[in-house]
Amino acid sequence: MNRNMYYDRSGKPITLLEWGSMFEDRTTKRVAETTLPDGTWISTIWLGLDHRFGDGPPLIFETMVFQSKDGPLYELDTYRYSTEEEAIKGHEEAVAKWSAAQREEKE
């Protein structure tokens, strides 16, 4: 199987050089970020690099949940997506999930 590894934000295949140029720009990478009241940081970015290991559409976006934005980036959860639309929805779902978990801890 000969798959392309690099994709722009729309999912169009690109070269390694195009990907590298785009990936250097922090504003190009950022899709969304949210810091919850306890400091938990939820970050969604465009990876542009296919993280699918098997059949199916390329996974080029990622949401990660960290204990905080400023401390060591200890990963609590990870989600991957094929489209920016899925990534935005997934970010919102991660925020809801982790916000609910915080509310449950307080009860």
Residue-number span of the structural domain to which 40 is assigned: 16-106
20 near 29, Cβ under 8 Å?
no
| Domain total of the chain | 1
Residue 10 falls inside a structural domain: no
Residue 69 falls inside a structural domain: yes
Residue 9 falls inside a structural domain: no
Q: Beta partners for 41?
A: 35, 66
Residue 79 falls inside a structural domain: yes
Blockwise average pLDDT, block size 10, the chain, 107 residues: 81 94 88 95 95 90 94 89 98 95 68
- Rg (the chain; Cα; Å): 15
76 near 40, Cβ under 8 Å?
yes
Q: Report the pLDDT value the prediction gives residue 103, as an integer from 0 to 100.
A: 66
44 near 91, Cβ under 8 Å?
yes
Residue 1 falls inside a structural domain: no
Distance CA 102, CA 35 (A): 12
